[in-house]
Structure 1
Amino acid sequence: MPVGCPAPRDFVIAAIDRLVPLGIHPSAWQEAVDQMGDFAAALCVLIIDNNVDHPDTPIQSPGGVLRAMTARHQAGQLRLNQSLVAIRKRKRKRVE
């Protein structure tokens, strides 16, 4: 891994640090980890954290969204890459 690049564990630690401020219950986090693994669950939490202040559709219930993302994962319908691309596009628009 290149120097300066975060490791997957860094994302997990960052997500765990955001659980309490976001009001995500430990059981929602554990269910997500059990279903999709800690890295994917961490990405979900970090996506949620980014979208709490979404300009059009801010997240009102981060724990509910994490549970919904977990259910989508179980159904094979979770597309984290699309969420990450959307965040990147939104950030680029702000810079322009």
Structure 2
Amino acid sequence: MPRRGYPPQFRRKVLDLVEAGRPVREVARDLGISEQTIYVWRKQDLIDKGRLPRVTTIEQTELLVARRRIRELETELAVTKRAIELVRGVVPPKGCSKPSR
């Protein structure tokens, strides 16, 4: 998952410089970022382009959103279950009243 420290446009320009043939070391030095950062970006770019088999950035984002939503739904379910327990403790079930005539 990309960090938020550098905008996507900056990452793209860095990768374009490397793809154009400039050495990673030189680009890193000129722009004040680590070589490792560029290598990580390049690897993720290859994954996103389908050249390496891993989870793409879009898939990572979708998984993050889905997991967050699942957590929200689980919380809502737990709250609903607790509310039902509290209501049952106060209101008797329907079958416990006197039969009507």
* TM score, norm. by length of structure 2: 0.27
The structure with the largest alpha-carbon Rg is 2
Higher RCO, 1 or 2 (CA under 8 Å, sep at least 6)? 1
